[in-house]
């Protein structure tokens, strides 16, 4: 299992401040740029925090919950913005709605959702990063952000599809965000404590391995068939991941009678593989994939 809740990744060196709203059915992020001393107004004027807060504590309603960015009141100067020395300029807000107009495969098991910030600190619509990067198999967050020209603000780790208040959410910030509608912080992690290898996310997900003795060589008779049991395990500590889900299979040789693998509620499943047209000494490698992420497991069988 992974620790869930909202975590502030502090001292990130980003010149932004945030307000966050997390509920079972949605996640909302409002973006501010701290003002410099002497700022008197923004391009859209001035609004006191009490007035803007009332607006921010009501999720935007565009009639479709499709993830449009709400720019109402953006560019107002908030002189008494909490957590800032000289107030801040409001840049808009972006939401993920669980029951919105979402793609069939956007909010599924083994997802990673980004709420990012673009040019001029404007919040962007949310995206499923694994769906975006599946074709090129981009595994590091830095490469993804570089090619999209964006700065990450909030990440929702969703190894198992669940209400948002039961997922792990990380906010990349300088100090604590403003918490809306009773949202709470589960913890703080200094940015300096996070490795800069771009794969921090992997510890929050799981992998698939053959379910058998360690080091066991899996075999399939030439021209014959074998049944391969697998089990899901969490990446961080290797503990069993008890979850029923459907995975996709692909092989570099042989034949797979079914290209779908269904695990039960304990995280156990099995698939059949046939060594049609193969001879002793050859190998079959089967990749186990999720909807958007390839090779959460690789199983190799010796043809005998």
**258-267 — which CB contacts under 8 Å span 24+ positions?**
261/230, 261/288, 263/230, 263/232, 266/231, 266/240, 266/242, 267/206, 267/231, 267/232, 267/233, 267/240, 267/241, 267/242, 267/243
Confidence at residue 148, expressed as pLDDT on a 0 to 100 scale? 84
Token representation of residue 271: 């698939």
Residue 119: pLDDT above 80? Answer: yes
Token representation of residue 254: 């042989």
Confidence of residue 89 (pLDDT cuts 50, 70, 90): very high
CATH entry, 206-303, from 3.20.20.80, 2.60.40.10, 1.25.40.80, 1.10.357.10: 2.60.40.10
Q: Do 60 and 30 touch, CB atoms closer than 8 A?
A: no
Confidence at residue 249, expressed as pLDDT on a 0 to 100 scale? 98
Token representation of residue 262: 């269904």
- Cβ neighbours around 37 below 10 Å, total: 7
Residue % of the chain over a pLDDT of 70: 100
Mapped onto helix, strand or coil, the DSSP state of residue 40 is coil
Type and span of the H or E element at 145: helix 141-148
> Any idea what the Cα angle at residue 196 is, between residues 192 and 197, rounded to 5°?
155
Residue 215: pLDDT above 90? Answer: no
pTM of the model: 0.94
The pLDDT tens digits of the residues spanning 270-299 come to: 999 999 999 999 999 999 999 999 999 999
The residue-averaged pLDDT of 124-151 equals 89
What average pLDDT does the chain have? 95
Instruction: Supply the DSSP symbol for 123.
Output: B
Domains in the chain: boundaries: 5-204, 206-303
Q: Do 293 and 130 touch, CB atoms closer than 8 A?
A: yes
- Cβ neighbours around 80 below 10 Å, total: 12
Confidence at residue 213, expressed as pLDDT on a 0 to 100 scale? 83
Confidence at residue 214, expressed as pLDDT on a 0 to 100 scale? 78
The pLDDT tens digits of the residues spanning 217-269 come to: 999 999 999 999 999 999 999 999 999 999 999 999 999 999 999 999 999 99
Residue 43: pLDDT above 80? Answer: yes
Token representation of residue 8: 């502030």
């Amino acid at each position: 299992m992974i620790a869930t809740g909202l975590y502030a990744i502090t001292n990130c060196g980003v010149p932004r401040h945030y307000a966050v709203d997390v509920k079972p059915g949605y996640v909302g992020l409002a973006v501010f740029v701290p003002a410099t001393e002497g700022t008197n107004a923004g391009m859209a004027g001035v609004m006191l925090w009490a007035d803007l807060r009332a607006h921010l504590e009501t999720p935007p309603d565009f009639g479709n919950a499709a993830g449009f960015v709400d720019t109402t009141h953006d560019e107002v100067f908030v002189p008494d913005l909490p957590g800032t020395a000289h107030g801040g300029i409001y840049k808009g807000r972006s939401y993920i709605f669980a029951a919105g107009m979402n793609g069939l495969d956007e909010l599924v098991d083994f997802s990673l959702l980004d709420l990012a910030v673009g040019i001029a600190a404007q919040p962007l619509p949310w995206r499923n990063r694994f769906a975006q990067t599946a074709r090129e198999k981009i595994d590091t967050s830095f490469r993804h952000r570089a090619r999209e020209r964006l700065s990450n603000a909030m990440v929702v780790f969703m190894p198992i599809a669940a209400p948002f208040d039961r997922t792990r959410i990380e906010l990349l910030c300088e100090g604590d965000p403003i918490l809306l509608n009773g949202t709470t912080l589960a913890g703080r992690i200094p940015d300096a404590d996070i490795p800069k290898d771009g794969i921090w996310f992997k510890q929050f997900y799981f992998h698939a391995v053959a379910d058998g003795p360690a080091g066991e060589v899996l075999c399939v008779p030439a021209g014959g068939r074998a049944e391969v049991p697998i089990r899901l395990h969490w990446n961080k500590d290797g503990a069993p991941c008890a979850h029923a889900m459907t995975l996709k299979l692909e092989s570099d040789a042989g034949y797979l009678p079914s290209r779908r693998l269904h695990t039960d509620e304990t995280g156990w499943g099995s698939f059949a593989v046939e060594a049609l047209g193969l001879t002793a000494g050859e190998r079959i490698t089967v990749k186990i994939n999720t909807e958007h992420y390839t090779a959460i497991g690789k199983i190799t069988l010796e043809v005998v």
